[in-house]
Chain A
Amino acid sequence: MAHQHGGYFSIDLYAFNSKLKKINPEYKLISALITLILTIVFNNIFVSAYILFLMFFITVNLGGMDIFEYISMLLAPLGFIVLASISIAFGLSFEQAGEFYIKIFNIYIHTSRIQLIEAFELMIKVLACVSIMQSLILSTMPYEIINALRSMHVPKLIIELMNLIYRFIFILIESYINMRNSAISRLGYHNFKSSIFTFGNMAGNILVVSLKKANAYYTAMEARCFDGDLNFLQEEKKLKKKNLVLTVLNILIMFAIWIFTLNYGF
C-alpha cells in the first residue's frame, strides 16, 4: 500500500497476514490483557525487559512480521515517551537542587541518578506494554477483538456501534483519499493558508458524505430486514490446550523473574 495514498490502515493488513491469526481471538485478548496488567503491577525492569523480548519473539518469529516494520511500529509512540520521560527525568527550580544540574539564567535544570533510572525504567515498561498491545493488534483482526469484547459482556449497543464504526471508517477514508488526491492535483496544498482551507472544506465535505451514506446504509439495512439487532458472523477458531499452557507458563515466568529480582536494582 503506497504511503501517500493513505497507508493509514496497513495495520489491518499485518493482522491478516500474520501466522497467528488462526488462534482463538478471545484467548488472545484475555491473555494480552492479563500480561499487560501484570507488567504494570510488577513495575519491574527485568519483567518489562523479558516481556519486550517475548513480544518481539511472538510477533516477529511466530507471527512472521518483518523485523524493521515491527520496530518502526513499536517506536510509533516515541514522541510521547521521549517528552514524558524528559519531564520525569529532569526538574526545574530556582534554587540549586539535584545531583547534576545546568544553570540557564536563574533557572536550574537538575536531575539525579534516581530520577534518571526511574525515567529509564518507565521507558522500558511503556515499550513493553506497547509491544504487548502490538502483538495483539498485529495478529488479530479488529472485528474479532470487537466480538471478543461481546463475550466479555460489553453492552450490545456499544458492540453494534463499534462494528458499524469500524466498517464506516474505511468508507470515509476512501472518500477522503479521493478528495485529497483531487485537491492536491489542483494545488490545494501549495501554501499554509490554502492548506488550512482545503483541509477544513474537505473535512466538512466528509461529514456531508458520511451523513448521506448513513441514510443509504439505513435503507439498505432495512431492506434486509433490520429490526434492531445486528448480527455478524465470524469464523470459529477453537481454543487449543497448548496455548493455555503457554499463557500459564508465561505468567509463572513473570512471577519468577519478579521474585528473583526483588532485591536487585540500581
Chain B
Amino acid sequence: MKKQEKLIIAPAIILAFSFALPFSANAMHIMEGFLPVGHVIAWSLIALPFLIAGYMSIKKTIAKDRKSITLLAMSGAFVFVLSSLKIPSVSGSCSHMTGTGLAAILFGPSAVSILGIIVLIFQALLLAHGGFTTLGANTFSMAIAGPFVSFIVYKICKKSKVNDNVSIFLAAFLGDLLTYVVTAFQLAIAYPMKEGGVMASAGEFLLVFAPTQLPLAIIEGLLTVVIVIGLKTYAESELKEIGFLAGGVK
C-alpha cells in the first residue's frame, strides 16, 4: 500500500467504525462484573460521602416541605426517562443522553447524587445498563463527578455573564465529557497496561470509546440547550418552583 492510499483508508476506516456501530452507544455504564472486588469496594467507599451529603440535603428539603417528595420523585423519573429515550443521532446507531447535566442545572448537584444512584439502579434493573457491583463506580462518574462539573461550569459561566445558551451547552457538554474521562480512568486503573501502566491504558480506553462518546457529548449539549429554551418559554412558573430561575436549588 502506498502512503497516500493509507492516508485515505485510515480515516475511512475510523469513519466507517463510528458510523456503523451495530450496538447502542450508551453513556459509558461500566458493566456488571467488569471491575475486580477491590475496585468495587473502593469506588463504593468514594461515592459514599457524596451520597450521605445528598441524602442529608434531600431529607432537609423534604422536612421543610413534604410536598417536595413527589417533586423529587418526578425529577428522578424524568432523569430516568430522559436517559432511556433514543436520541436523534447522525450515525443511525441508537444512543441515549445521560440527562444528569440538565438535572444538575435544574435541581442542584447534591439532589442529583441520590436521584442518580436510584436511576442507575433502575437502569440496571429495567434496561440492563450497568449493574450492582459497578454501582459505586458508575455513581461516582455519572451521578457525582459529571453533575458537579456541570453545575460548577454553569455557575462560573453565569457569574462571568456568558450567554445563557452557551453556558448551558458548556455545562452539559463538559459534564458528559468528564463522565466519559472518569469512566475511562476507572477502567484503566482496574486494567493497566503491562507497558506504560495506567496512563497508557487510560489513553487507549479514551481512544476506543471516543467515536461513540464525543458525538454523544455534543448532542447532549445541544439537546440540553433546546430543552431549557423550551422550558423557559412554556414553563416559567414551574421552573421557579424547582428554583432554577432563582438560581438553582441550594
A contact set with B: CB distance below 8 Å: 8-9, 11-12, 33, 36-37, 39-41, 43, 73, 76-84, 86-88, 90-93, 97, 104-105, 115, 122, 125-126, 128-130, 132-134, 137, 142, 145, 155, 157-158, 160-162, 164-166, 168-169, 171-173, 176, 189, 192, 195-197, 199-201, 203-208, 210-215, 217-218, 221, 228
Closest to B58 in A: A157
In the assembled complex, B167 has its CB within 8 A of some CB on chain A: no
Closest to B25 in A: A79
Give the contacting residue for A169; candidates B23, B81, B129; CB below 8 A: B81
What secondary structure prevails in chain A residues at the interface with B?
helix
Q: Name the segment of B144-152, B173-181, B219-227 touching the other chain.
A: B219-227
A105 to chain B, nearest CB (A): 7
CA distance A259 to B181 in the complex (A): 38
Contact string, B215-250, partner A, CB cutoff 8 A, digits 1/0? 000010011111111110011001001100000000
B contact set with A: CB distance below 8 Å: 6, 10, 21, 23-26, 28-37, 40, 55, 58-59, 62, 66-67, 69-78, 80-82, 84-85, 87-88, 90, 106, 114-115, 118-119, 121-122, 124-129, 131-133, 187, 191, 193-196, 200-201, 203-205, 207-209, 212, 219, 222-231, 234-235, 238, 241-242
What secondary structure prevails in chain B residues at the interface with A?
helix
Contact yes or no, A206 B193, CB < 8 A: no
Give the contacting residue for A166; candidates B31, B122, B200; CB below 8 A: B122
The 8 closest A-B pairs by CB, nearest first: A129-B33, A200-B226, A79-B23, A204-B230, A195-B88, A164-B73, A168-B77, A214-B74
Contact yes or no, A142 B126, CB < 8 A: yes
